[in-house]
């Protein structure tokens, strides 16, 4: 009996050790296998303004324990030679110092550093929730030869269409790397010597069109279209959309170009035309840019998804990014006069028409809130415009319906017509709030320069 009493603690200790070993290795095999995770890649170069602060917040999020079962590693491509990246970045972030500032670097300098089968590439002004990243990963695991992401664009021949494609079901050709998941092997093809001339063109041309080239390279390799994903509500912390308008000088990004549509078309036409480079007589053919129409719709928890070609709905797309400036950049929102008034963020304080518009159109600035106020008022149309009675009520509904797809626009194009017709917001001493929408037909000198922003669909 004394021997048994002496042996019992040893037996218990061995049993506890075995249990801990089993638990650890079970957890390790389930959550720590790099093959079951993604590597995050993003590039940055800003040392002043708001963006360094955003970068640290974004990296802190992805490096947190909450994301440990999804993110195997983080690679930051630092595109500012001779200058140190912001201090205080999370431990474990691999910083790659680029010898020159180039958009190509996030695709070329990371080759060999990403050890996971899949990688996620994002801009440095947005952060994805864990359910969003989880769903993107699961969609990619089911479609590993496609580029996956929520932000897409399409082309019309070799013309680049600068339309978010959220208003109506629409075919698409490109996934944008604002948030993109793809095969490490396929994405790595971008760095091959074959595309050296194309990469040189990306550096020389002003459209920042490395993403167009990536889509064409992958499309030519796989002959498969990318796959669009409708993320769960509240998935995207979009600093660029919600915080940048409050302080443009301190937060402007690469996409802040008035001539962006024409520059992107110039780039696409170059790649799909005579300027293909690489010793070829012509550029990429249409087979390198197939159209996609499927949408993977995520469950709210990101655990599952369904595929559809049906209309996902504008509300679903808008809901992906529903955080406000008060949540993303509270200090800035509290001090900048352009921030929306607090009452504007409460749907209960608005009329039904105003609440519906606010659901479609994020109240990024005070100007957007005032724009909604005009449209939701009893008299959004300027006096003397159009007929009275039922026809005028019908026109009020028409301008509001068109406005849903042109958030914050001072010139709202009539999407029922193919002509340059619509409504423009102008001052009015007789209108409540001092502003009203005036109808115009066949163009207006104050609106024609924004014609290129008209959504590419008809109501």
Whether the CB-CB separation of 403 and 357 falls below 8 Å is answered with: yes
C-alpha span between 456 and 459 (Å, rounded): 10
Residue 430 lies in a domain: yes
pLDDT tens sequence across 126-152 = 999 999 999 999 999 999 999 999 999
Cα 94 from chain centre = 24
Q: Which residue has the higher pLDDT, 80 or 169?
A: 80
Residue 212: which domain range?
34-314
Residues 107 and 229 in one domain: yes
- Is it the case that residue 4 has pLDDT exceeding 50? no
- Is it the case that residue 30 has pLDDT exceeding 70? no
Residue 321 lies in a domain: no
pLDDT for the residue numbered 257:
42
Residues 137 and 269 in one domain: yes
Residue 335 lies in a domain: no
pLDDT for the residue numbered 278:
46
pLDDT tens sequence across 112-128 = 999 999 999 999 999 99
pLDDT tens sequence across 365-409 = 778 888 999 999 988 999 864 556 788 899 999 999 999 888 888
- Give residues with Cβ within 8 angstroms of 10, minimum separation 6: none
Last residue of a domain, one of 314, 348, 375: 314
Residue 26 lies in a domain: no
- Is it the case that residue 202 has pLDDT exceeding 50? yes
Residues 306 and 427 in one domain: no
- Average pLDDT of the chain is 85
Q: Give SS3 for 340.
A: coil
Residues 270 and 359 in one domain: no
pLDDT for the residue numbered 389:
78
C-alpha span between 195 and 108 (Å, rounded): 11
Give 260's pLDDT tier (boundaries 50, 70, 90): confident
Residues 143 and 233 in one domain: yes
Residue 103 lies in a domain: yes
Give the least confident one: 83-87, 368-372, 455-459: 455-459
pLDDT for the residue numbered 283:
81
Give 414's pLDDT tier (boundaries 50, 70, 90): very high
Residues 206 and 265 in one domain: yes
> Which tokens hold the place of 216?
């064409």
Report the DSSP pairing between strands 227-230 and 148-149: parallel
- List phi, psi (to 5°) of 185: -65, -45
Residues 351 and 449 in one domain: yes
Q: How many domains does the chain have?
A: 2
Residues 265 and 345 in one domain: no
Residues 310 and 347 in one domain: no
pLDDT for the residue numbered 251:
40
Residues 206 and 87 in one domain: yes
pLDDT tens sequence across 432-453 = 778 999 999 999 999 998 887 7
Residue 159 lies in a domain: yes
CATH number of the domain that 128 lies in? 3.90.550.10
Q: Which residue has the higher pLDDT, 34 or 284?
A: 284
Give 353's pLDDT tier (boundaries 50, 70, 90): confident
pLDDT tens sequence across 297-320 = 999 999 999 999 999 988 899 889
Residues 178 and 230 in one domain: yes
Residue 276 lies in a domain: yes
Report the pLDDT averaged over residues 406-414.
91
pLDDT for the residue numbered 8:
57
pLDDT for the residue numbered 263:
92
What does each C-alpha distance from 196 to 130, 206, 303 come to in angstroms? 36, 17, 40
Identify which of 162, 141, 415 has the alpha carbon closest to the alpha carbon of residue 265: 162
Tell me the H-state helices in 234-386: 239-242, 248-251, 260-272, 314-319, 325-328, 330-335, 352-360, 366-376
Residue 384 lies in a domain: yes
pLDDT for the residue numbered 277:
46
- Give residues with Cβ within 8 angstroms of 397, minimum separation 6: none
pLDDT for the residue numbered 14:
53
pLDDT for the residue numbered 165:
83
Residues 404 and 258 in one domain: no
pLDDT tens sequence across 226-248 = 999 999 999 999 888 777 766 65
Last residue of a domain, one of 272, 297, 314: 314
């Amino acid at each position: 009996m004394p021997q048994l009493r002496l042996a019992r603690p040893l037996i218990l200790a061995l049993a506890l050790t075995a249990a801990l070993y089993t638990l650890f290795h079970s957890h390790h095999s389930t959550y720590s296998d790099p093959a079951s995770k993604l590597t995050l890649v993003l590039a940055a170069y800003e040392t002043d303004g708001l963006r360094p602060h955003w970068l640290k917040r974004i990296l802190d999020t992805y490096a947190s324990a909450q994301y440990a079962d999804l993110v195997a590693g983080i690679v930051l491509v630092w595109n500012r030679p001779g200058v140190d990246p912001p201090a205080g970045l999370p431990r474990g972030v691999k910083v790659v110092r680029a010898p020159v500032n180039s958009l190509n670097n996030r695709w070329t300098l990371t080759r060999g550093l990403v050890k996971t089968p899949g990688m996620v590439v994002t801009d440095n002004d947005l952060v994805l929730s864990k359910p969003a990243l989880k769903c993107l990963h699961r969609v990619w695991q089911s479609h590993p030869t496609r580029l996956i992401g929520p932000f897409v664009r399409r082309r019309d021949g070799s013309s680049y269409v600068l339309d978010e494609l959220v208003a109506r079901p629409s075919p698409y050709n490109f996934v944008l790397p604002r948030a993109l998941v793809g095969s490490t092997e396929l994405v790595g093809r971008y760095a091959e010597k074959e595309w050296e001339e194309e990469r040189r063109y990306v550096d020389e041309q002003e459209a920042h069109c490395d993403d167009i080239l990536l889509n064409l390279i992958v499309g030519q390799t796989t002959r498969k279209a990318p796959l669009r994903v409708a993320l769960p509500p509240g998935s995207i912390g979009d600093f660029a959309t919600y915080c940048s308008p409050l302080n443009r000088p301190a937060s402007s990004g690469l996409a802040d170009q008035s001539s962006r549509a024409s520059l992107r078309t110039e780039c696409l036409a170059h790649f799909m035309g005579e300027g293909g480079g690489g010793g070829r007589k012509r550029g990429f053919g249409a087979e390198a840019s197939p159209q996609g129409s499927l949408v993977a719709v995520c469950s709210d928890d990101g655990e599952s998804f369904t595929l559809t070609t049906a209309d996902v709905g504008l509300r679903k797309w808008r809901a992906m990014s529903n955080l406000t400036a008060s949540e993303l950049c509270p200090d800035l929102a509290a001090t900048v006069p352009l921030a929306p008034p607090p009452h504007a963020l409460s749907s209960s304080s608005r009329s039904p028409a105003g609440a519906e518009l606010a659901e479609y159109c994020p109240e990024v600035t005070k100007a957007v809130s005032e724009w909604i106020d005009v449209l939701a008022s009893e008299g959004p149309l300027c006096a003397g415009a159009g007929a009275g009675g039922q026809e005028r009520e019908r026109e009020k509904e028409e301008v509001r319906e068109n406005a849903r797809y042109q958030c914050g626009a001072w010139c709202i194009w009539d999407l029922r017509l193919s002509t340059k017709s619509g409504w423009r917001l102008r001052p009015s001493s007789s209108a409540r709030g001092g502003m009203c929408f005036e109808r115009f037909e066949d163009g207006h000198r104050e609106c024609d320069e924004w014609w290129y922003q008209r959504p590419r669909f008809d109501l």
